[in-house]
Amino acid sequence: MKKLVLIAGGALLVYVLIVLAIAVIPAIELSRVPPGPGVVDLTPVQAEGRRVFAANGCAYCHTQQVRPLAEDKEFGRPSAPGDFAFQTPELLGSERTGPDLSNVGVRKGSDVWQYIHLYQPRALVPQSIMPDFKFLFRVMAKAPAGETAIPVPAPFAPANGVVVPTPEAKALVAYLLSLKQSSIPGYDMKGAAPAAAAPAAPGSSGAPAAVAGAYVFSQAKGQALFTANCAACHQASGEGVPRAFPPLRGNAAVLDADPTLHLRTILEGAHGKTIGGATYGSAMPPFASQLSDPEIADIANHERTSWGNSAKPVTPAEVAAVRAKPAGADQ
């Protein structure tokens, strides 16, 4: 009997110690981490959106944790404990069927994009395997006063009526747009894995593809960068999405021999312009902090030489010159 008590008691003690060491103490420590620089609490609408996010199982396919690995660089800087000060319980996720969402408010900072994508992901990303969330929208004969209909592209729009978001969809999109990483000095992946880390082309036997300083436009790289950063809105065809995102085929800024407006749009984003006689309700996000000068030159040259466009190519030096002189400077 005494032996049994000893064994059971010993096992219980080991169990309690393990729980303290791997769960209770880390949880107490984490709850004391102050918010990181620039990390602010969610508004009531964003907090409601976080609830909708959890309730719809978005975290089964999307992580919100960026690892300090080169392969995670596209998702942002590595996550820090202070990022989660107001996001408890954390929705870290463990499966990445879709991209990490820690910084998606910067990458896809357009509410119109988020609405169309939730209504039907394939309307914007043809190869997407994300389920649609149409039940977060209503189809109505016409948008009620004060509401804006979502410009769903024709093949995916309902035969009759317009698509209007429910309060749940609005809260969810407010939450998604709030997912923006703040910058932490010295805590940045930029430069850690420069573009030069790209795998050597087959047959190049490891020799450096380009001598530093000499820029050679690579259509393959330009197209890959365009696909990763721009095609979700402007489409791989450069046709855009009517009323949502302008076409780049035949776009005046892209065709202009003076590349200033073209490069400035990529660096600083754009909003509320009249483009080819049309206006667009959503914003183009800025890419200055995410793309290097040669990367922007590659993307710009891809746009300038695709879909029937034929405009004078640009160089990284021209990108650097526009970057050094932000919009306010010349007005």
The smaller minimum CB distance to ligand HEC, of residues 81 and 134, is found at: 134
Exposure of 128 by Cβ count < 10 A (0-12 exposed, 13-18 middle, 19+ buried)? middle
Cβ 75 to ligand HEC shortest distance, Å: 8
Distance, in Å, from the CA atom of 30 to the CA atom of 218, rounded to the nearest integer, reads 46
Cβ 265 to ligand HEC shortest distance, Å: 4
Cβ 274 to ligand HEC shortest distance, Å: 8
Cβ 313 to ligand HEC shortest distance, Å: 14
The smaller minimum CB distance to ligand HEC, of residues 91 and 184, is found at: 91
Distance, in Å, from the CA atom of 199 to the CA atom of 210, rounded to the nearest integer, reads 13
Distance, in Å, from the CA atom of 322 to the CA atom of 77, rounded to the nearest integer, reads 25
Side chain identity, residue 208: P
The smaller minimum CB distance to ligand HEC, of residues 233 and 319, is found at: 233
Exposure of 315 by Cβ count < 10 A (0-12 exposed, 13-18 middle, 19+ buried)? middle
Cβ 96 to ligand HEC shortest distance, Å: 9
The smaller minimum CB distance to ligand HEC, of residues 60 and 86, is found at: 60
Distance, in Å, from the CA atom of 59 to the CA atom of 264, rounded to the nearest integer, reads 35
Closest CA to 49 of 132, 128, 131, 115: 115
* Tokens read off for 53: 């996010």
* Tokens read off for 262: 């073209």
The smaller minimum CB distance to ligand HEC, of residues 172 and 314, is found at: 172
The CA-atom distances, in angstroms, between 270 and each of 110, 161, 191, 247, 274 are 11, 30, 26, 14, 11
Cβ 163 to ligand HEC shortest distance, Å: 16
* Tokens read off for 110: 């357009």
Distance, in Å, from the CA atom of 93 to the CA atom of 71, rounded to the nearest integer, reads 17
Distance, in Å, from the CA atom of 38 to the CA atom of 178, rounded to the nearest integer, reads 12
The smaller minimum CB distance to ligand HEC, of residues 120 and 157, is found at: 120
The smaller minimum CB distance to ligand HEC, of residues 35 and 132, is found at: 132
The smaller minimum CB distance to ligand HEC, of residues 31 and 127, is found at: 127
Judged by the rule CB under 6 A, the positions of this chain that interact with ligand HEC are 53, 56-58, 60-62, 97-99, 101, 104, 107-108, 110, 113, 121, 125, 128-131, 133, 172, 176, 229-230, 232-234, 245-246, 248, 251, 253-254, 261-262, 265-266, 270-273, 275, 280, 282-285, 287, 299, 303
Cβ 85 to ligand HEC shortest distance, Å: 22
195 contacts 137 by C-beta, under 8 angstroms: no
Q: In this structure, how many other beta carbons lie within 10 angstroms of the beta carbon of residue 5?
A: 9
Categorise residue 114: left if φ over 0, alpha if ψ from -120 to 50, beta otherwise.
alpha
Cβ 43 to ligand HEC shortest distance, Å: 17
